[in-house]
Amino acid sequence: MKIYLNGDLVDKEKAVVSVFDHGLLYGDGVFEGIRLYDGCVFKLNEHLERLEYSAKAILLELPMNRLQLMDAVCDTCRANNLSNGYIRLVVTRGVGHLGLTPDGCGPPSVIIIADDIQLYPENLYENGLKIISVPTRRINASALPPAVKSLNYLNNILAKIEAKKVGFQEALMLNDKGEIAECTGDNVFVLSKGVLFTPPLDAGSLRGITRAAVMDIASELSIPCREQALTRYDLWTAEECFLTGTAAEVIPCVEVDHREVGNGQPGVMTQRFIAKFRENVREDGVKL
């Protein structure tokens, strides 16, 4: 496997960063997870725009422009003879001193990994996922904007561990108001009385690329879609529920906190969203 590291494609074993890199020491950096479908990098432009916004928000100057990053992503996929898979694009603050101040850090490190991935087993797409709400809350949006996709995911990791400890593969995270924020790596949607609902960004939800794609699909299918504060009650009583994310794509959720969603089976509309999303991914992106 070849890894893109600061301008070079190197063997996986040689793709190393300094122990003084602030990305390692403090989680000081940003990243994107991107999908590759049949040689098409899905919504690459949108992912790179979000990377730029995240970097600007944390005062990190990217060492490459969008076109250069686009070429580097495609070159990494080609170097690994990859036509389907997952791409992780990481930019760290770079090497610095032992201390929080970023003064003296740099240049930023750019890392691109292109590999196979399957977040959930296929049977869960057919039968649905069961999730549970956990004690760990989503970081308050006023403390760290959820739109910043930073390298520090400890909050989400703790929530994932809590869910795993009680036999669930995914955790539902609430904000400090007790409202639904998101799952550990996915956005949440529910369908009730013909309307699709998803938590607003200020509830602690990531500005998901797949989230936006699903909202576009809702428009195509003439299904009203609203960003609205949701509670666990709204999920417990929903007709359908599904999660969205770059790695997960669109996956049905059939149980929340031991309560069946609808009839406990993937909903008809959820299946339509899955089919439409899978149809669109090979048309909406950058060809290698």
| 216-264 pLDDT per residue, tens | 999 999 999 999 999 999 999 999 999 999 999 999 999 999 999 999 9
Whole-number pLDDT of residue 120 = 85
Q: Domain check: are 131 and 181 in the same one?
A: yes
Whole-number pLDDT of residue 204 = 93
Q: Domain check: are 107 and 138 in the same one?
A: no
Q: Domain check: are 91 and 127 in the same one?
A: no
The enclosing domain of 260 has a CATH number of 3.20.10.10
Q: 14 and 4 in contact (C-beta within 8 Å)?
A: no
In a domain, 145, yes or no: yes
Find the DSSP H helices in the chain.
22-26, 44-57, 66-79, 122-127, 154-165, 209-220, 232-236, 268-280
Collapsed DSSP state (helix, strand, coil) of residue 282? coil
**Enclosing domain of residue 38:** 2-115
CA–CA gap between residue 85 and residue 69 (Å, rounded) = 18
Whole-number pLDDT of residue 10 = 98
The b-or-e profile of 86-97 (16+ CB within 10 A means b, else e) is bbbbbbbbbbbe
Q: Which residue has the tokens 């590291």?
A: 5
> Above 80 in pLDDT, residue 119?
no
Q: Is 149 annotated as catalytic?
A: yes
Residue range 59-81, pLDDT digits in tens: 999 999 999 999 999 999 999 99
Whole-number pLDDT of residue 141 = 87
Mean pLDDT on 8-17: 97
> Above 80 in pLDDT, residue 118?
no
Which residues are bridge partners to 88 per DSSP?
33, 113
Q: Domain check: are 75 and 140 in the same one?
A: no
Q: Domain check: are 156 and 80 in the same one?
A: no
pTM: 0.94
Instruction: Name the DSSP letter for residue 20.
Output: T
CA–CA gap between residue 172 and residue 14 (Å, rounded) = 38
The enclosing domain of 12 has a CATH number of 3.30.470.10
Q: One of 2, 43, 130, 149 is an active-site residue; which one?
A: 149
Collapsed DSSP state (helix, strand, coil) of residue 132? strand
Give the mean pLDDT of the chain.
96
Q: Domain check: are 54 and 10 in the same one?
A: yes
Pick the last residue of a domain from 115, 138, 167.
Answer: 115
CA–CA gap between residue 11 and residue 9 (Å, rounded) = 7
Whole-number pLDDT of residue 117 = 83
In a domain, 100, yes or no: yes
Residue range 164-217, pLDDT digits in tens: 999 999 999 999 999 999 999 999 999 999 999 999 999 999 999 999 999 999
Q: Give the distance from CA 274 to its chain's centroid.
A: 17
Q: Domain check: are 33 and 134 in the same one?
A: no
Total structural domains within the chain: 2
In a domain, 288, yes or no: no
> Above 90 in pLDDT, residue 54?
yes
Mean pLDDT on 107-114: 98
Whole-number pLDDT of residue 200 = 96
In a domain, 287, yes or no: no
